[in-house]
Amino acid sequence: MAELVRWSWVEDNLDDIQEASIEHLQLVGTSLALAIAVSIPTAILVRRRRIPFIAVNTISGALYTIPSLAMFAFLLSFVGIGFEPAVIALAVYCLQLIIRNSVVGLEGVSGPVREAARGMGLTSRQTLTRVELPLALPAIFAGIRLAAVSTVGIATIAVYIGAGGLGVLIVNDGIQRGLFVTPIVVGAVIATVMAIVIDLALVGIERLLTPWQRARAAVG
Amino acid sequence: MGDIWDAFQENDGWGQTWVTIKLSITALGLATLAGLVLGVICAKVGRAAAFLVITVSNLGRTVPTFALIALILALTGLGFWPAALGLFLLGIPPILLNTFTGVKEVDPGAVEASRGMGFTPLQVLGRVELPMAMPLVFAGIRTSSVQIIATAALAGLVGAGGLGVIVSSGLSNNQDDVILAGAIPITILAALSELVFGGAERLATPRGLRISRRPITG
């Protein structure tokens, strides 16, 4: 078997590798931010309305099953090439995960807790922002983490829609040069490490945002 | 729409659809077999196995499937069986994890009761644990099938045959009709498998469990 990584290629292409990684990170970050900005308000709107919830869940679920290559192909044909269509495609895949987890988290807040909030004189908006959303954070973060990890992977296909990223290494330098293995391995390794680091970073952010969970763990 | 249909026929659309279906069914069949057997073994062996299953599945999720399938094809060659091998490996984790969880979560009372009725361990597995795990197993097969079809399309992009080849040729010639002539059937196949296995998931739920579930779904 041929050598898995030709190090001379890596040394000669460090700049390209760095550029592809940064592009990839931008793609993932922007898509995730867009998906969160759409999903959490949607979850808040539909959580107690049966029919809208079913509608949102069905639509986001159907979008989720569209194979990634087909999704990029549709956006390429109907929207065009570039960074924005790629971000839309990637954000679409995150909707289902974040919306569903947010609804589960928000509706998982126990009745007595809501009663207590009302008893303290909180309006329903205050109950949402000060009680329900903070208590739903672990579930919401579970959805965001799943979405982030899968987005890092799917974003490798964004190269076909002209959005760059690690797919540049995998496709332009690897597949299209007679399946040259080195850039494919480099792209795969960087994407994997990126997924793990983003996942850990999200765990860290979640811990910062939910200090009471640590306190409880310390007491228990 | 007419142009897309023409592009589909000009690019051997039916032939490539058939290749994608054959590839996906082969991979899914083997992945189901492997996932079921490994899942049951892991559920029976103990905590270390549980840790291993969860770690491997989680790690598997962080490796981009596109890069992985490209790598497998680059190392083993461009053909039906290398592609099937790659799809098979990627298809195992959802089935393995769900079988494992399904068997682990069977009510210990039910297992005790069947033992008390004189069932051998094999009978407990075959008549109690596996039937009760079936809904989860089928949910795993459903996830896996959609994933395998999506990855089969990517394998075509790398050059392994199937509908992805049509998308690939459309991409390199800048022809939207050809791209869509590959992308639309891929989407239909994924939707069909979702429907078929979603239905199978419902049918596979033992009747007793279906009744007990009713209050939960409202």
Range in A57-61, A97-101, A176-180, B143-147 with the lowest mean pLDDT = A176-180
Mean pLDDT of chain A: 92
In a domain, A206, yes or no: no
Taking residues A53-77, report their average pLDDT: 94
pLDDT band at B216 (very low <50, low <70, confident <90, very high): very low
CB spacing of B157 vs A76 below 8 angstroms: no
Picking from B67, B154, B191, the nearest residue to A69 by CB comes out as B154
User: DSSP code of B39?
Assistant: H
In a domain, A188, yes or no: no
Burial A84-95 (b: 16+ CB within 10 A, else e): ebbbebbbbbbb
- Return the pLDDT at A1: 46
Residues of A in Cβ contact (< 8 Å) with B67? 156, 166, 170, 184, 187-188, 191
Taking residues A108-119, report their average pLDDT: 91
- Return the pLDDT at B121: 87
CB spacing of B64 vs A152 below 8 angstroms: yes
Q: How far apart are CA A87 and CA A132, in angstroms?
A: 30
Q: Is the pLDDT of residue A159 over 90?
A: yes
Q: Say whether residue B157 is in contact with chain A using an 8 A CB cutoff.
A: yes
The tally of domains found in chain A comes to 1
Q: How far apart are CA B191 and CA B149, in angstroms?
A: 10
- pLDDT: is A177 or B54 the higher one? A177
pLDDT band at B209 (very low <50, low <70, confident <90, very high): low
Which residue in chain B has the smallest CA separation from A157? Answer: B66
CB spacing of A67 vs B149 below 8 angstroms: yes
CB spacing of B180 vs A77 below 8 angstroms: yes
- Return the pLDDT at A5: 86
Taking residues B94-100, report their average pLDDT: 92
- pLDDT: is B125 or A37 the higher one? A37
Q: Is A123 left (phi over 0), alpha (psi -120 to 50) or beta?
A: beta
Structural domain including A127 reads 27-167
Q: Say whether residue B60 is in contact with chain A using an 8 A CB cutoff.
A: no
- Return the pLDDT at B53: 78
Residues of B in Cβ contact (< 8 Å) with A185? 71
Residues of B in Cβ contact (< 8 Å) with A197? none
In a domain, A64, yes or no: yes
pLDDT band at B44 (very low <50, low <70, confident <90, very high): confident
- pLDDT: is B55 or B218 the higher one? B55
Q: Is the pLDDT of residue B214 over 60?
A: no
Which residue in chain A has the smallest CA separation from B63? Answer: A192
Taking residues B115-134, report their average pLDDT: 89
In a domain, A140, yes or no: yes
- Return the pLDDT at B201: 83
* CATH number for the domain harbouring residue A65: 1.10.3720.10
Q: Say whether residue B188 is in contact with chain A using an 8 A CB cutoff.
A: no
CB spacing of A73 vs B182 below 8 angstroms: yes
Which residue in chain B has the smallest CA separation from A175? Answer: B158
Q: Say whether residue B182 is in contact with chain A using an 8 A CB cutoff.
A: yes
Residues of B in Cβ contact (< 8 Å) with A17? none
Taking residues A112-125, report their average pLDDT: 92
Taking residues A124-152, report their average pLDDT: 94
Return the ∠ at Cα A155 (arms to B56 and A159), rounded to 5°: 135
Q: Say whether residue B94 is in contact with chain A using an 8 A CB cutoff.
A: no
Q: Say whether residue B56 is in contact with chain A using an 8 A CB cutoff.
A: no
Q: Is the dihedral of CA B55, B56, B57, B62 positive or negative?
A: positive
Convert the pLDDT of each residue in B159-194 to its tens digit: 888 999 999 999 988 899 999 999 999 999 999 999
Q: Is the pLDDT of residue B148 over 90?
A: yes
**Chain A residues bordering chain B (beta-carbon distance below 8 Å):** 1, 62, 65-70, 73-74, 76-77, 149-150, 152-154, 156-157, 160, 166-167, 170, 174-175, 179-181, 184-185, 187-188, 191-192, 195-196, 199
Range in A144-153, B26-35, B204-213 with the lowest mean pLDDT = B204-213
Q: Is the pLDDT of residue A165 over 50?
A: yes
Distance of residue B71 Cα from the nearest chain A Cα, in angstroms: 6
CB spacing of A188 vs B64 below 8 angstroms: yes
Q: Is the pLDDT of residue B99 over 90?
A: yes
pLDDT band at A138 (very low <50, low <70, confident <90, very high): very high
Q: How far apart are CA B88 and CA B84, in angstroms?
A: 6
- Fold annotation for B2-211: MetI-like fold (1.10.3720)
Taking residues B34-46, report their average pLDDT: 89
Q: Say whether residue B78 is in contact with chain A using an 8 A CB cutoff.
A: yes
- Return the pLDDT at B215: 40
Q: Say whether residue B158 is in contact with chain A using an 8 A CB cutoff.
A: yes
Q: Say whether residue B146 is in contact with chain A using an 8 A CB cutoff.
A: yes
Burial A155-180 (b: 16+ CB within 10 A, else e): bbbbbbbebbbbbbbbbebbbeeebb
Return the ∠ at Cα B55 (arms to B54 and B60), rounded to 5°: 100
Cβ atoms of residues B171 and A160 within 8 Å: yes
In a domain, A219, yes or no: no
pLDDT band at B210 (very low <50, low <70, confident <90, very high): low
Cβ atoms of residues B208 and B127 within 8 Å: no
How many CB pairs (< 8 A) connect A and B? 114
Cβ atoms of residues B25 and B33 within 8 Å: no
Mean pLDDT of chain B: 88
User: What DSSP assignment string belongs to A4-55?
Assistant: S--HHHHHHTHHHHHHHHHHHHHHHHHHHHHHHHHHHHHHHHHTT-HHHHHH
- pLDDT: is B215 or B169 the higher one? B169
- Return the pLDDT at B138: 92
By CB atoms closer than 10 A (0-12, 13-18, 19+), residue A16 is: middle
Q: Is the pLDDT of residue B213 over 50?
A: no
Q: Name the residue ranges covered by the structural domains of chain B.
A: 2-211
Q: How far apart are CA B179 and CA B185, in angstroms?
A: 11
